[in-house]
Chains A and B, each alone.
Chain A
Amino acid sequence: MAASGQSTDPNTNIPDYEYIDVNTKPFHIASFRNEWLSRLKPSDISYQQEDEDAFDANFAKEMGLGPEIMSQLKSVCSVDSLRCHPEDQQPDPEVVPPNSTLKTLVERKKRQDYKASLKITKNRHDLYADELERLTVGRKPSAVADMIPEGEIILTINVYYPATYEKFCYVRPHMTLLMTGSHTLAELRDGICCVSDLQVCGEFSNTPDIAPDFISKDHYKSSFFFFEGVFYNDMRFPECRDISITTVEWAKSRNFPPYSQAKMEETRFTDLKVKVGFPYLYCHQGDCEHLVIITDVRLVHKNDCMDKNLYPLLTHKHRIVTQKCAVCHLFIGRWFTTNDQFAPSDPCLFCDKCFRMLHYDAAGNKLGDFLAYPYVDRGAFN
């Protein structure tokens, strides 16, 4: 039996580690899906739940068990057999049971007592996280055509904020999106919200009212993803440019392994050959670079959100501490000024109201000398 020799020709469509617990070797998503589907019975992945009695009857038949043995088996394996308290004395599941021997519970009790001593109430972010979760679980579409078919692939994708963020090493702030295998990379791109897409460029101290009309996304539409040696460019709009070409040609001229290009809007996730857990790249606005990690690939489950149109589905978003106005310390900054005689610092951040009150008269005339730039806070999406 030692010579079964299965290890000599590993199936490359069966994902395995490249580095243990870190990332996998590359595999083709559609082939991976087919490997699973070829092994499973349709009922294993069906959204439809069969009848309990039918299941038991079927099992008894398959195993050749008489009704008596079957009912005995059923009762032995029932959920009731796991109940750790009398039926009429259901303890409060919100409370850590006292005197438990489980180490997990001893620690949990300790931690809860400590937290209680601090008297911290739930903050806005925690509430928001609960909200996000409630929205995503088990949603069904109104139209049958929008239903995700059984056996579809679901990918979990983390998109990280640019690494310039000072605390990146510890918390690695990111957003998590779910996609299906038949979605395109362009659809992922549209689901990524980054402040640099909203950044308004230019100095507007003389005309503060027209500033918000200039939004970067409208001006610089080009962007690309980079997976396994391929640049996937967004070429949906006539003003899009292949911004990867510089890199491709630079690599070519230096005898690097060749990179190739493809169109984001024509590439479905099932077409990709990628490593799970490996950092790839999303680049937009010319130089705003985000790491992208596909953290999970799996078959769709009946509890997943089944409305195609709700993908990319946001399941996590890092809460960023917002920069507040230097005057009122209350509202999120919308403007920053330089060379500003009214400002306590240079540069200085103001909310819209304080900015206008301080820098313009009632008729809207500019007072004094300063330069003003619209500012979009990183946490503006919170």
Chain B
Amino acid sequence: MDLNRKLVKSDCEELLSRFQKTDSVRFEIFSNTWREMKFSHIFYGTKKREKRVFSRLVLDTASSFFLPPYSFQIRVGGLYLLYSLYQCQTTSPPEQIRLALKDWEDVKKFEKDALNAQHHDIVYILHRLLFLRAFHFTAMPTLLVFQKKRKVERSVQREAFIERTSRPQELINTEMLEELSNIHELYEKLKTSVCSTTNSSVNLSRKDLIPQLCSTVMNFYKLQQKDGSDDGEEDSGEGTSSQQDCSKRAERLAFIKSKAYGEAPEACKSRRHRQVEVDLTSNEAGPSNMSGSTRISKPSLKARTNENVHISGDMWKEASTTTMINCLTTLDSAPEKQKNLKRFKWR
């Protein structure tokens, strides 16, 4: 049984990897790959009871590709795979796709991302599965029988399928750097107004903080790119990623888009690209397009600082615990920890 599971997983990965190479999220492209591999045949040759057991196995295996930490494109492939397997299974009535409550938010977010990018086929397939009552709304992704494994055998995830870390790029974006430099300026001004003489003992802040921060994140990004250069994946490129990377990315996205069923007017196209870009980069990192709106809805840091800084020192301290400066100082440890947690959760 365990061998069977491994083989099924490997067949699914082969299909998704071919799909990934097409750089597409179109169902048309997916079904092409499906036919090319004659994937429907995976159900053939099972008998009676075996059929149902195999349907269960193959649907459970495919489900994982529909969820984080896989990249948006792989998750699209995972959804298409589930739909196709569900439709082609030979047992009647069909086995359902199991969907756990804890994964529902991820599915809704995925749907929103697809909607925003006007990927009509993705949304259609998802809605169609709901219409077909293809889901079991469950507590957990699989049945649990307290099966402790003798050998600790973590099922390995394909590195190339997984969304790359993008927290630093997301955090250190232009908007944030601008605010930071404003605060820096404000702080220097205040300081000079307090101490008339230029005293070296109050020179506590780094003069070159902003350019340094910027170049560090750039370096991180470049290193990351070099790391994964063999698979040609460039999913993390938001924020301060270099101009060249950005344009390359936009090009590719435009390529994907050009094949979409987009009816939206040309005028907002670039806007939509931005949207897709956000979606693609932030799949693993948590709520995606929320980031843009929450950042905007909060009063700007500059405004908050202006309000607080001249009242009292304590207030400033208090305010600073919720500012991005605070986030910055904990950047090294905090997001890393969270990432580990996520990995852990997702096998």
Which A residues contact B (CB, under 8 angstroms)?
1-4, 6-7, 14-17, 20-24, 27, 32, 35-36, 39-40, 43-45, 49-50, 55, 59, 63-66, 69, 72-73, 76-77, 79, 81-85, 91-97, 100-105, 107-109, 112, 126, 129-130, 133, 137-138, 156, 158, 276-279, 293, 295-299, 301-303
When distances are taken between beta carbons in the complex, the residues of chain A under 8 Å from B335 are 2
Q: Is B121 an interface residue (CB 8 A)?
A: yes
A-B contact sample (8 more), CB < 8 A, given A24-B140, A97-B41, A303-B94 = A1-B286, A17-B140, A65-B261, A69-B120, A73-B261, A84-B35, A105-B42, A277-B140
Q: Is B316 an interface residue (CB 8 A)?
A: no
Q: Is B31 an interface residue (CB 8 A)?
A: yes
Distance between Cα atoms of A101 and B42 in the complex (Å):
10
Distance between Cα atoms of A6 and B102 in the complex (Å):
13
Q: Is the CB of B146 within 8 A of A20?
A: no
Q: Is the CB of B139 within 8 A of A77?
A: no
Distance between Cα atoms of A217 and B190 in the complex (Å):
87
- Complex partner residue of B327 from A2, A23, A100, CB under 8 angstroms: A2
Distance between Cα atoms of A161 and B223 in the complex (Å):
57
Counting contact residues on chain B (CB < 8 A from A), the size range is 35 or more
- Give the residue among B40, B125, B146 with the most A Cβ atoms within 10 A: B146
**B153: min CB distance to chain A, Å:** 11
Render B313-340 as a binary contact track against A, CB cut-off 8 A, 1 for contact. Answer: 0000000000000010000001100100
When distances are taken between beta carbons in the complex, the residues of chain A under 8 Å from B28 are 76, 81
Distance between Cα atoms of A6 and B294 in the complex (Å):
15
When distances are taken between beta carbons in the complex, the residues of chain A under 8 Å from B38 are 84-85, 97, 100-102
Render B35-69 as a binary contact track against A, CB cut-off 8 A, 1 for contact. Answer: 10111111111111100100000000000000000
- Complex partner residue of A109 from B4, B45, B102, B338, CB under 8 angstroms: B45
Q: Is the CB of B286 within 8 A of A77?
A: no
Q: Is B266 an interface residue (CB 8 A)?
A: no
One of B84-92, B241-249, B299-307 contacting the partner: B84-92
**Chain B contacts with A in 125-146, Cβ cutoff 8 A:** 125, 127-128, 130-131, 133, 135-140, 142-146
Q: What are 25 A-to-B residue pairs whose CB atoms are below 8 Å?
A: A1-B171, A1-B286, A2-B167, A2-B286, A4-B286, A14-B102, A15-B102, A20-B344, A20-B345, A20-B347, A21-B144, A35-B101, A81-B31, A81-B35, A84-B40, A91-B44, A93-B45, A93-B90, A94-B45, A103-B7, A104-B11, A105-B41, A109-B45, A295-B143, A296-B139
Q: Is B270 an interface residue (CB 8 A)?
A: no
Distance between Cα atoms of A36 and B90 in the complex (Å):
29
Q: Is the CB of A36 within 8 A of B137?
A: yes
Among all A-B residue pairs, the 7 with the closest Cβ atoms: A277-B144, A96-B45, A1-B291, A298-B138, A84-B38, A81-B31, A297-B139
**B68: min CB distance to chain A, Å:** 14
Q: Is the CB of A104 within 8 A of B263?
A: no
Q: Is the CB of B127 within 8 A of A59?
A: yes
The DSSP consensus for interface residues of chain B is helix
Distance between Cα atoms of A313 and B144 in the complex (Å):
19
Given the known interface contacts A83-B40, A277-B144, the answer about A32 and B101 at a Cβ–Cβ threshold of 8 Å is yes
Q: Is the CB of A55 within 8 A of B131?
A: yes
The DSSP consensus for interface residues of chain A is mixed
Q: Is the CB of A2 within 8 A of B341?
A: no
Render B250-288 as a binary contact track against A, CB cut-off 8 A, 1 for contact. Answer: 000000000001010000000000000000001001110
- Complex partner residue of B44 from A39, A96, A276, A278, CB under 8 angstroms: A96
Q: Is the CB of A73 within 8 A of B42?
A: no
- Complex partner residue of B140 from A55, A95, A276, A293, CB under 8 angstroms: A276
When distances are taken between beta carbons in the complex, the residues of chain B under 8 Å from A22 are 144, 146-148
When distances are taken between beta carbons in the complex, the residues of chain A under 8 Å from B147 are 21-22
Q: Is the CB of A301 within 8 A of B44?
A: no
When distances are taken between beta carbons in the complex, the residues of chain B under 8 Å from A297 are 138-139
Distance between Cα atoms of A16 and B141 in the complex (Å):
10
When distances are taken between beta carbons in the complex, the residues of chain A under 8 Å from B42 are 102, 104-105
- Complex partner residue of B341 from A3, A7, A23, A24, CB under 8 angstroms: A7
Q: Is the CB of A2 within 8 A of B347?
A: no
When distances are taken between beta carbons in the complex, the residues of chain A under 8 Å from B286 are 1-2, 4, 6
- Complex partner residue of A299 from B136, B145, B294, B334, CB under 8 angstroms: B136
When distances are taken between beta carbons in the complex, the residues of chain B under 8 Å from A15 are 100-102, 139-140
Given the known interface contacts A95-B44, A102-B39, A276-B140, the answer about A49 and B120 at a Cβ–Cβ threshold of 8 Å is no
Distance between Cα atoms of A32 and B139 in the complex (Å):
8
Distance between Cα atoms of A84 and B15 in the complex (Å):
14
When distances are taken between beta carbons in the complex, the residues of chain A under 8 Å from B214 are none
CB closest chain-B residue, reference A101: B37
**B318: min CB distance to chain A, Å:** 16
Distance between Cα atoms of A208 and B11 in the complex (Å):
62
Distance between Cα atoms of A24 and B202 in the complex (Å):
55
CB closest chain-A residue, reference B85: A82
Distance between Cα atoms of A43 and B128 in the complex (Å):
12
When distances are taken between beta carbons in the complex, the residues of chain B under 8 Å from A137 are 93
**B253: min CB distance to chain A, Å:** 20
When distances are taken between beta carbons in the complex, the residues of chain A under 8 Å from B94 are 303
Q: Is the CB of A1 within 8 A of B44?
A: no
When distances are taken between beta carbons in the complex, the residues of chain B under 8 Å from A302 are 133
- Give the residue among A1, A32, A100, A277 with the most B Cβ atoms within 10 A: A1
Q: Is the CB of A84 within 8 A of B39?
A: yes
When distances are taken between beta carbons in the complex, the residues of chain B under 8 Å from A100 are 38, 41
Q: Is B170 an interface residue (CB 8 A)?
A: yes
Q: Is the CB of A293 within 8 A of B35?
A: no
When distances are taken between beta carbons in the complex, the residues of chain A under 8 Å from B84 are 82
**A178: min CB distance to chain B, Å:** 12
Q: Is B157 an interface residue (CB 8 A)?
A: no
Distance between Cα atoms of A296 and B140 in the complex (Å):
7
When distances are taken between beta carbons in the complex, the residues of chain B under 8 Å from A277 are 140, 144-146
When distances are taken between beta carbons in the complex, the residues of chain A under 8 Å from B282 are 1
**B42: min CB distance to chain A, Å:** 6
**B258: min CB distance to chain A, Å:** 15
Q: Is B72 an interface residue (CB 8 A)?
A: no
When distances are taken between beta carbons in the complex, the residues of chain B under 8 Å from A43 are 130
**Chain B contacts with A in 1-37, Cβ cutoff 8 A:** 3-4, 7-8, 10-11, 27-28, 31, 34-35, 37
Q: Is B290 an interface residue (CB 8 A)?
A: yes
Q: Is the CB of A73 within 8 A of B124?
A: yes
Q: Is B187 an interface residue (CB 8 A)?
A: no
When distances are taken between beta carbons in the complex, the residues of chain B under 8 Å from A49 are 133
